Amino acid sequence: NAGVTQTPKFQVLKTGQSMTLQCAQDMNHNSMYWYRQDPGMGLRLIYYSASEGTTDKGEVPNGYNVSRLNKREFSLRLESAAPSQTSVYFCASSEGGHTYEQYFGPGTRLTVT
Amino acid sequence: QKEVEQDPGPLSVPEGAIVSLNCTYSNSAFQYFMWYRQYSRKGPELLMYTYSSGNKEDGRFTAQVDKSSKYISLFIRDSQPSDSATYLCAMSLAGNNRKLIWGLGTSLAVNP
């Protein structure tokens, strides 16, 4: 039982490049989330998916797109990376009804130069 | 003003001390109150949660919610070096709400 896994762990991009962050969970959770964490700003919700087939914007969605590929997988895409997107990205999942209990992945450290 | 305020610290205490971590909030509709712990270069993990007001105890950890003052606390008794981490408070509304509102986190160092 791996919980929530994220790939890659580290990534360096040049401004304007694109990439997709992958997330998968093996807990049969309905809801999945993408956050970014920055010093002084805390955790901020980018997008979330309440259930398979649905996605909704969070607090800071600009510059990102998501895909809920199936119940297990939720990907985050940066179409044209900007230095302001340098951050640590966390994927999380929850059963859905019990919103308080979110399980987090290990994070992806992204640097955009 | 942010919906949830949390002093980022850092807080440094000697091993064995009692630690008090706090958050204040402005939205009186919050019903679920959580404390997450985040070790360096790891994802947050749920430590404790409380529904509405009251206290909850789990081993050396006690969570308190005072809704009249819009104030929540996490107490750590007999603190250990392994408690050194960042502690984040989070809150949500009642009902089927998917979003947690997060504090910035308080960095705690317990010195042997």
In B, minimum Cα distance to A58 occurs at B99
pLDDT tens per residue across span B73-105: 999 999 999 999 999 999 988 765 568 899 999
Spatial distance between the Cα atoms of B43 and B41, rounded to a whole number of angstroms: 7
Q: How far is B95 from chain A (nearest CA, A)?
A: 8
B42, B46, B99 member nearest A45 (Cβ) = B99
| Region of residue B49 (phi > 0: left; psi between -120 and 50: alpha; otherwise: beta) | beta
Question: Are A104 and B43 a contacting pair at CB < 8 A?
Answer: yes
A23 and A76 Cβ atoms separated by less than 8 Å: yes
C-alpha distances (whole Å) from A26 to each of A105, B5, B8, B41 are 12, 34, 33, 22
- The answer to whether the beta carbons of residues B49 and B33 sit under 8 Å apart is yes
Reported as a pLDDT band with limits 50, 70 and 90, residue B2 is confident
Beta-strand ranges (E) seen in chain A are: 4-7, 10-13, 19-25, 31-38, 42-49, 56-57, 64-68, 74-78, 87-94, 103-104, 108-112
CB under 8 Å to A11, separation ≥6 — which residues?
A19, A108, A109, A110, A111
Structure confidence by residue, pLDDT tens digits, A99-113: 678 999 999 999 999
Question: What does the pLDDT read at residue B64?
Answer: 96
pLDDT at A2 over 90: no
* Structure tokens given for A21: 């962050």
Express each pLDDT in A17-52 by its tens digit: 999 999 999 999 999 999 999 988 889 999 999 888
CB contact under 8 A, B34 and A42: no
Task: Please report residues of B whose CB lies closer than 8 A to that of A50.
Answer: 98
Which residues of chain B are within 8 Å of residue A95 when distances are taken between CB atoms? none
Model pLDDT, residue A110: 98
Q: Is the pLDDT of residue A81 over 60?
A: yes
